[in-house]
Amino acid sequence: MVAAVMTVGGALTVPLPAAAGDEGKGAAGHAHDLSNVWAMARGGQLYDNWMAVLEADKPKGTHPAYPKAGKKKGASTWRCKECHGWDYMGKDGTYKSGSHYTGIKGVRAMVGMDVKKIHGIIMDKTHAMKNKIPHSAMEKLALFLSKGQVDNDRYIDRKSKVARGNVKRGAAIFQTACAICHGFDGKEINFKDPPKAEYVGTVCKKNPWEGLHKIRFGQPGVAMVALAALDIQTAVDVVAYCQTV
């Protein structure tokens, strides 16, 4: 059945898929089938914050495999990115020190790995996710880990944090897509509660690896355009532009 189309301010909009309920659905052969790119982007969001994606209750307590030496507690320790990092390199990347350090390795070794094998790893006792994430969602997470990762060092200078993108090209994408929500100055959405302020530019300057991940895959639990269907350089260009606003 084709999803209902609503009219908002004279523009046609299609409702976002439901959270956990849409996993695995789709009628073969129809134009509205869920694509592999969509599934991979969904997996990228699950890596970010699967609780928000699935509208699931936050786990009680700290993840059993989270190191005692770690500085985080509670539900945040159940997020994949909390141990493996926004650059997917874990202890060998940006999380090699600081408040997010855990000493846990990254997930770069999973690039190109058979999705079923990754699925099995995620389901093991160490990750303790067997009763947390639905099987079909787990498959999407595995797809992202195998096919969706990039070598961040090719696109972001680790020392300066400057994205290796074309600012002018990034501006064209941002101003025609992202600015609809974020505004031309990137300050329409404040990620913090006033008087604190954090905008898309703030994130891309302070943590461009997080910015790139979210630009490619979207923000979990909210309506945000994901650029996963476009080439990686386009997303990097957007990060480069965001570092100027």
CB 67 within 8 A of CB 103: yes
pLDDT in tens, 10-46: 333 334 444 444 454 444 555 556 789 999 999 999 9
Q: Which amino acid is at 81?
A: K
The pLDDT of residue 29: 52
Strand partners, 90: 105
Calculate mean pLDDT across residues 41-60. 97
Alpha-helical segments (H) within 130-229: 135-143, 167-173, 179-182, 200-206, 208-217
Calculate mean pLDDT across residues 211-216. 99
Q: DSSP secondary-structure letter at 15? A: P
Calculate mean pLDDT across residues 44-72. 96
Residue 87 has a CB neighbour count (10 Å cut-off) of: 26
Does pLDDT of 184 surpass 80? yes
CATH annotation of 154-242: 1.10.760
**Domain spans of the chain?**
36-149, 154-242
Residue 23 has a CB neighbour count (10 Å cut-off) of: 21
pLDDT in tens, 166-181: 999 999 999 999 999 9
Which three-class secondary structure state does DSSP give residue 110?
Answer: helix
